[in-house]
Amino acid sequence: MGKRRGFLLAATALAALVQTAQAADKLTIGFMTTLSGPGAVIGVELRDGMLIAMDHLNKKVGGLPTSVIVEDDQQKPDVARQLVNKFQKSDRIDVAAGFSFSNLMLAVYGPLTQAGTVTISSNPGPSQIAGKECSPYFFSTSWQGDSWAEAMGAYLQKKGVQNIYLIAPNYAAGKDVLTGFKRFYKGSVAGEVYTPLSQLDFSAELAQIRATNPSAVFAFFPGGLGIQFVKQYSQAGLKDKFTLYTSYTIDNTTLPAIGEDAVGLINTTFWNAGADNPVTKKFVADFQAKFGRPPAEYAAQAYDTIMLLDSAVKAVNGKIEDKPAFLAAIRKADFKSVRGAFRFNSNGFPIQDYFQGRVVKGEDGKPTIRIEDIALKDHGDAYASECGLK
Amino acid sequence: MSAGTVLLVEQSLNGLQFGIMLFLMAAGLTLVFGVMNVVNLAHGSLYMVGAYLCASVFAASGSFLLGVSTGIAGATLVGILFEVTVFRRIYDGDHLDHVLATFGLTLICNEVVRMIWGPTALFAAVPQGLAGQVQLMPGLSYPAYRLAIIVVGLMVAGLLYVLVNRTRLGMVIRASASNRTMAAALGVNDVVLYTIVFGLGAALAGLSGLMAAPVFAVTPGMGDNVLILSFVVVVIGGIGSVRGAFLAALLIGFVDTFGRAFLRPLLASLFAGNVADNAAPAMASLLIYALMAVVLFFRPQGLFPPRTR
């Protein structure tokens, strides 16, 4: 037994040596995302944003020939675990990136960071990872999950809105988002309602809102739920009576399905797609040209993931096997983000601006989000203080 | 008119409208279940097909009527295709075979729809004449489109009643539902009858999907959520009974709407603190399933089972 273990150790060490010698001539990225099932809307957006970045870099991230292995996690945590195993054991990836949903991120976070795999989340930012369980191997080019709602809370606090009605689905993220909102909003609350996650029809809740007569409504309904809620809100004639403020509810993936009913809504986001910034402009134009639709936030986040890697690989001259140097180079975030200024907090999450936007009719008559104001400037998340990293 | 009365009337309308939406879906399900004894999980896919076809044809042509007819015709055709290719081979199997085969069809349909229309939700507009509100009484205006759903649903219920109880086809359907072998022995061509009934069920699913499209989100898999509620309706109403499905759908519509609307204020008046905030959403979403459990305990055959001998 002892002998065999010794042999295995020697073989592993040898393999590591061989790998080290080869590592610098290519880069392999394992890109996990959701391409089937209801979550595919987000997953496809992430993949397409990544593809634009690879186009812009001529498939050479930081000068190294790069292969991106795209895998579909089917929005299932067990599949995600198996994929990470494949990434590490068979594909021998250098970096794991992508990720669509926070429950999947949490399922693979341990196996990835404990094995020392450099991990960059292009989307989910669960509070656990931002706080106590933070890791030096983990970075996010998106946001911590509470941040958009915190921005909306701050915006409404600044506006001095009182007597607001809160509504969200009855699951973990629904509670987190309203908690994040109330972290910055200190005004009075007219009602706080949680609806079942599978609910399709909101007419009962909408009638209660009308009867409560609040001054405004803040809603969090991601994906298809948001389409249903916003349409029914407008059809019930509430839109003109009580301004609807939302977070994570309308973006370029859901806006076309909501149509005119969304016009007049206020939202918060971290990204100004219309920013007067050459990087943003090029990204938006090339995405529109390649896929025939405007990019949503998810695409921008995945684009930044690749661009961040590009800067770090360049900074270490392709010597990515020198992990401490590579991680330090990532942490510098010395790249041109599509959102303008970008820097990392101690927990690997961005410190960035959050904007307040309004849905308006665009020049082509289709509804579009116009950024009006900065809701939170240089905002880091509330959990970074719980993270032991510096 | 006090604000409380207005709210009560509005919530009753909401309950009625939700119930009718469920009835449209459950009617087809209960027909197929009753006549052929098949658990059809793919019913939700036909609902989705109706919604997608209607929304895209309406958007392309600008004619809602054309969209509606394409939606219903398309769902019917897909339904008949299912019957001829898959169901015909599994009628003799047990319910587990049905569930496996029809669940497989659901997965296939969801992915095919995703391939054709993409994963993002489709825009489904409210037809021009039905946009906006109707003033029903002082202080109460109700979305015109939802009123239209109520009217169409009541019409369909009436037509189905006449069809099942007053026509020759209905008589054959009833005969086949109560005793298949005897009906066949008396000369009912059950192969053709099954295809007709399945097509009818598919048309109802398509209609319910396209009516729901402007209110709900048109996405791949949109039928799956509705399907669960429709099964609850079918089981409470009595499997195979259209009348039962109608009454059970209204019951579910009212119980669900009133639970969501008034449980929280009720709990808040009974208990101190935020008990209501925590308990009400959980209790409201449990309510219809609790109702189902109670009904099944006292009347395992459902509230209004079809007469059989």
**Which among A207, A210, A235 has CB closest to B126?**
A235
Check CB contact of A171 with chain B, cutoff 8 Å. Answer: no
Looking at chain B from residue 92 to 111, which residues have their Cβ under 8 Å from any Cβ of chain A?
111
Q: What percent of chain A has pLDDT over 70?
A: 94
Give, in degrees to the nearest 5, the angle at Cα B215 between B209 and B216.
Answer: 65
Measured between alpha carbons, how far is A202 from B246 in angstroms, rounded to an integer? 22
Six-digit token pair at A390?
Answer: 């510096």
Tell me the nearest-neighbour CA distance from B156 into chain A, angstroms: 21
Q: How far is B11 from chain A (nearest CA, A)?
A: 6
> Which chain A residue lies closest to B56 (C-alpha atoms)?
A257
Picking from A35-39, A285-289, A364-368, which range would have the lowest pLDDT averaged per residue? A35-39
Residue A389 has pLDDT above 90, yes or no: no
A212 in reach of chain B (CB within 8 A): no
| Mean pLDDT on A307-335 | 95
pLDDT of residue A1: 43
| pLDDT the model gives residue A10 | 55
pLDDT value for A131: 93
Judged by a CB distance cut-off of 8 A, whether residue B273 touches chain A is: no
According to DSSP H, which parts of B37-129 are helical?
43-61, 64-82, 88-90, 95-117
Which phi and psi angles does A69 have, rounded to 5°? Answer: -95, 105
Identity of the residue numbered A312: A
A192 touches chain B (CB under 8 A): yes
Three-state secondary-structure class, residue B133: strand
Considering only the beta carbons, identify the residue of B14, B218, B220 that sits closest to A207: B14
Asked if B125's CB is within 8 angstroms of A231's CB, the reply is: no
**Residue from A72, A201, A212 to probe the interface with B (highest B Cβ count within 10 Å):** A201
Q: How far is CA A283 from CA A248, A298, A301, B76, in A?
A: 22, 13, 11, 44
What is residue B277's predicted lDDT score, i.e. its pLDDT? 74
CATH number 3.40.50.2300 given to A147-269+354-379: yes
Q: To probe the interface with B, which of A200, A234, A255, A261 has the most B CB atoms within 10 Å? A: A200
The answer, for A65 touching chain B at a CB cutoff of 8 Å, is: no
Same fold for the pair A2-143+276-344 and A147-269+354-379: yes
The H-or-E segment that residue A389 falls in is: none
Q: Is the pLDDT of residue A161 over 80?
A: yes
In the predicted structure, residue A34 carries a pLDDT above the cut 50: yes
End-to-end CA, chain A: 42
Question: What integer pLDDT is reported at residue A22 of this predicted model?
Answer: 45
A388: pLDDT strictly greater than 90: no
A172 in B contact zone (CB under 8 Å): no
Spatial distance between the Cα atoms of A255 and A227, rounded to a whole number of angstroms: 8
Q: Which CATH number fits domain A2-143+276-344: 3.30.200.20, 3.40.50.970, 3.40.109.10, 3.40.50.2300?
A: 3.40.50.2300
Q: How confident is the model at residue A21 (pLDDT cuts 50, 70, 90)?
A: very low
> What pLDDT does A255 receive?
92
How much is the pLDDT for A336?
94
Does A15 or B120 have the greater pLDDT score? B120
Identify the pLDDT of residue A328. Answer: 96
3-state secondary structure A93-149: CCEEEECCCHHHHHHHHHHHHHCCCEEEECCCCCHHHHCCCCCCCEEECCCCCCHHH
The strand pair at B133-137 and B140-143 is best described as antiparallel
d(CA B24, CA B201): 10
Backbone angles phi, psi at B298, to 5 degrees: -85, -35
| pLDDT at residue B137, as a whole number | 85
Could you give the CA distance from residue A370 to residue A357 in angstroms, rounded to a whole number?
A: 5
Domain boundaries, chain A: 2-143+276-344, 147-269+354-379
Q: With contact defined as beta carbons under 8 Å apart, do A238 and A210 qualify?
A: yes
Chain A contact for B2 (CB, 8 A cutoff):
no
Residues 208-227 of B with CB under 8 A from A: 212, 214-222, 225-226
> Does residue A19 register a pLDDT over 60?
no
pLDDT, tens only, A125-147: 999 999 999 999 999 999 998 99
Q: B26-47: b or e for each residue (b if 16 or more CB lie within 10 Å)?
A: bbbbbbbbbbbebbbbbbbbbb
Task: Write out the DSSP string of A6-28.
Answer: HHHHHHHHHHHHHHHHHHTT-EE
At residue A28, the 3 state secondary structure works out as: strand
Q: How is residue B67 written in tokens?
A: 């969209």
Residues 6+ apart with CB under 8 A from B115: none
Selecting from B146, B217, B256 the residue whose C-beta is nearest the C-beta of A257 gives B217
Query: What is chain B's pLDDT, residue by residue, as a tens digit (309 residues)?
Result: 577 888 999 999 999 999 999 999 999 999 888 888 888 999 999 999 999 999 999 999 999 999 999 999 999 999 999 999 999 998 888 889 999 999 999 999 998 998 899 888 888 889 988 988 888 888 888 999 999 999 999 999 999 999 988 999 999 988 888 788 888 899 888 889 999 999 999 999 999 999 999 998 898 889 988 999 999 999 999 988 889 999 999 999 999 999 988 888 888 888 876 777 778 888 888 899 999 999 999 999 999 887 764
Whose tokens are 């295809």? That residue is B195
Beta-carbon separation of A40 and B3 below 8 A: no
Q: What is the ipTM of this complex?
A: 0.86
DSSP state of A363: T
B123 and chain A: CB distance < 8 Å anywhere?
Answer: yes
Query: In a mutagenesis test of the A interface, which of B20, B260, B285 is the best target, namely the one with the most A β-carbons within 10 Å?
Result: B260
Among residues B284, B286, B265, B287, which one has the least CA distance to residue B276? B265
Cα dist from A356 to A149, A229, A343, whole Å = 11, 20, 20
Number of DSSP helices (H) and strands (E) in chain A, helices first: 13, 14
pLDDT at A8: 52
Put simply, the answer to whether B120 touches A257 (Cβ < 8 Å) is: yes
Name the β-bridge partners of B142. Answer: B134
Gap between the Cα atoms of B101 and B95, Å rounded: 10
CA distance B154 to B148: 10
Q: Which residues pair with A357 in a beta bridge?
A: A267, A371
Q: B136-148 burial, b for 16+ CB within 10 Å, e for fewer?
A: eeeebbbbbbbbb
Q: What is the pLDDT of residues A213-255, one digit of tens each?
A: 999 999 999 888 899 999 999 999 999 999 999 999 999 889 9
Q: Kind of pairing, strands A367-379 and A64-72?
A: unpaired
Q: Tell me if B217 and A198 make a contact (CB, 8 A cut-off).
A: no
Nearest CB partner across the interface for B261, out of A208, A225, A231: A208
Res. A156: pLDDT tops 50? yes
